[in-house]
Amino acid sequence: MLPKTYRKVIATRFSKNFREAAKVVEVELQPPGSSEILVKTHYAGVNATDVNISAGTYTPGKQPPIDLGAEVAGEVVAVGEDVENFRPGDLVVTNS
- Please report the pLDDT score of residue 90 as a whole number: 98
**14 or 95, which is more confident?**
14
pLDDT value of residue 96: 66
| Contacts for 59 with CB less than 8 Å, ≥ 6 apart | 53, 66
In 3D, which of 48, 56, 50, 86 has the Cα closest to residue 68?
50
**Residue range 63-88: average pLDDT?**
96
pLDDT, one tens digit per residue, over 17-43 is 999 999 999 999 999 999 999 999 999
In 10 A of CB 20, how many CB atoms? 13
Please tell me what DSSP assigns to residue 30. Answer: P
The arrangement of secondary structure in 5-93, i.e. its CATH architecture, is Alpha-Beta Complex (3.90)
Question: Is residue 50 a contact partner of residue 23, using CB atoms and an 8 Å limit?
Answer: no
Mean pLDDT across the chain, nearest whole number? 95
